[in-house]
Amino acid sequence: MTVLIEIKVPDVGNVAEIDVVEVLIQAGDVVVLEQTLATLETDKASMDLPSSVSGTIQQVYIKPGDKVSEGTLIATVLANADQAIVTEAPEAVVVKVEAPVAVKLPETINLPAKSVTEVAVMEADTTLRKAHASPSVRLFARELGVDVAKIKAGSGRKARILKEDVKKFVKKVMAEGVVATGAGIPSIPAVDFTPYGETETLKLSKIKRLTGQNLSRVWLNLPMVTYHDEADITDLEAFRNSLNAEKVKGDIKITGLMFIIKALVAAMQQFPSFNASLSADGENLILKKYFNIGIAVDTPNGLVVPVLRNANTKSINELALELAEKSEKARLGKLMPADMQGGCLTISSLGGIGGMAFTPIVNAPEVAILGVTRAKMQPVWNGKEFEPRLMLPLDLTYDHRVIDGAEGAKFMALLKQNLSDIRRLLL
């Protein structure tokens, strides 16, 4: 047998006017025991009104904005008779039940232990207390992992945060997550180092700060792969030494880097996807018909990347002269923005310093970067015997959205061939 149960506002401690903030049910809804039916609020407290029975809502008597007081009828619920306390004649089947309340604030009110809503309230941290939201909304937010304090203003009365606001907040964060990848990653907490010893704080240079921001952005946005290999530059080195031997005082010396630029451009001409950028929406590949090579230059203020424009049209001597001028300007802090714009692919050479291998970060929107470390004499098997050969380590990092592994390996193979036998650059 079913019975009709009246759910009324219970005694909340001598409060004459209680505001109805939110009504979470409508006629026909199936509710379960302790499900929140409405949120009420007094000057001092916010409370959820849970259902005391399971059943179907027959009628709802309140709406948001109403003022209610103890005994006001909230709703009627059709429930199985065994759930209800029958207080009137069996014919009428009207049952009067007062709903228990989960009261939050003031904190002196004792909360019964078993209600889920109440547990959520008891666990609430200080940020939750500051937020203007009912316990049920807070519980809902907690279930979704949302910190209600982060929801700026709710759409309810007096900027109260409603369930809808939590949903909208989640949608917004999800949408932002797709566009700005990496948003919301936990930051590294500040640490007080003073207990461990003396420290000194130095302001980062503007270049370092900007480079840091850019590198972090690239790191978070690009799926990068670094491919390592080495090129035999024994013959190239002999040729370079003979060229330098011809130089007179005041001439710019030729370093291996100039040949690397030339070999790289030749490989880019055969693999156009290395001389490209992804469109911002990730839908198209923009192929470049010019060959501008950026060179990472170490300066006292940080790393800068002057660009050698139209490197395909310039001789080894012209490139050497231009790099000498631009790296000097870079170290004196005199590079103009135009000197650093328009690059197609960057070389980061640590060769003069040392190293065996490293994983340079792509200078996006470029799609690849070539790392170079110190060349070393090594025994190389020529089929009959080990031969001393000068081997140059190369590290190619590429944006895997644009370049796949096989293409990366083929590009490197061609680059190695070009460096091992620079006559190929004439072809």
Interface residues with ligand CAO (CB under 6 A) are 253, 255-257, 295-298, 303, 327, 348-352, 360, 372, 374-375, 392
Q: Name the residue nearer to ligand CAO (CB basis): 76 or 348.
A: 348
Please tell me which residue in 167, 288, 374, 400 is annotated as part of the active site.
400
| C-alpha distance from residue 406 to each of 163, 236, 371, 422 (Å) | 50, 27, 19, 24
Please identify, using beta-carbon distances, which residue of 25 and 323 lies nearer to ligand CAO: 323
Closest approach of ligand CAO to the CB of residue 283, in Å: 29
CB of 262 to ligand CAO, least distance (A): 13
Other C-beta atoms within 10 Å of 96: how many?
15
Smaller CB distance to ligand CAO: residue 113 or 353? Answer: 353
Rank residues 65 and 352 by Cβ distance to ligand CAO and give the closer one.
352
The token duo for 47 is: 């409370």
Torsion of CA 307, 309, 315, 320, to 10 degrees: -20
CB neighbours (10 Å) of residue 74? 24
User: What is the nearest approach in angstroms of ligand CAO to the Cβ of residue 366?
Assistant: 13
Q: How far is the CB of 375 from ligand CAO (least distance, A)?
A: 4
Neighbours of 205 (CB within 10 A): 14
Q: Does 400 qualify as catalytic in the annotation?
A: yes
Angular region, 270: left φ>0, alpha ψ -120 to 50, beta rest: alpha
Which residue's beta carbon is nearest to the bound ligand CAO?
A: 351
Question: Which alpha helices (DSSP H) does 94-149 contain, by range?
Answer: 116-123, 126-130, 135-143
**Residue 47 CB, nearest distance to ligand CAO (Å)?**
59
The nearer residue to ligand CAO, 40 or 369, going by C-beta atoms, is: 369
What is the C-alpha separation between 67 and 19, in angstroms, rounded? 5
For the annotated catalytic residues, the residue numbers are 400
